[in-house]
Amino acid sequence: MSDPVADSARPGPVFFIGRAVLRPLLRLRFRPRVSGREHVPVAGPVLLASNHLSGLDTILIPSFAPRQVQFLAKESLFSSRIGGWFFRGIGAIPVHRSAGSAAQAA
């Protein structure tokens, strides 16, 4: 049985277009070194955890990860028309941050 929230949060064209445009620009500007890519499974669940040393983690990880990346994002980011369109387009999953049980369900 599939999860309707996760199914509706699959990355869409915004994710793939953004990745195609950003990857070469980010490579030129930051020259990231990716290590451990061979340990990311081709299929099935995987968790890529960031320690958020920089806000750029949110852009760099999906740009250089070997597969599609989905994010958990606070629900308030989805409240505006543009924010909702963008975050749904990149496959973000809204999380209610007020209750611990709601965040755990995500």
CA distance 78 to 31: 31
Pairing of strands 72-74, 93-95: parallel
How confident is the model over 26-43, as pLDDT tens digits?
A: 999 999 888 888 999 999
Q: What is the pTM of this model?
A: 0.71
The answer to whether residues 26 and 60 touch, using CB atoms and an 8 Å cutoff, is: yes
Q: Is residue 10 part of a domain?
A: yes
The answer to whether residues 64 and 32 touch, using CB atoms and an 8 Å cutoff, is: yes
Q: Is residue 70 part of a domain?
A: yes
Q: Is residue 42 part of a domain?
A: no
Per the structure, the complete domain to which residue 85 belongs is given by 4-35+48-105
How confident is the model over 45-63, as pLDDT tens digits?
A: 888 888 878 888 888 888 9
CA distance 63 to 15: 9
Q: Is residue 20 part of a domain?
A: yes
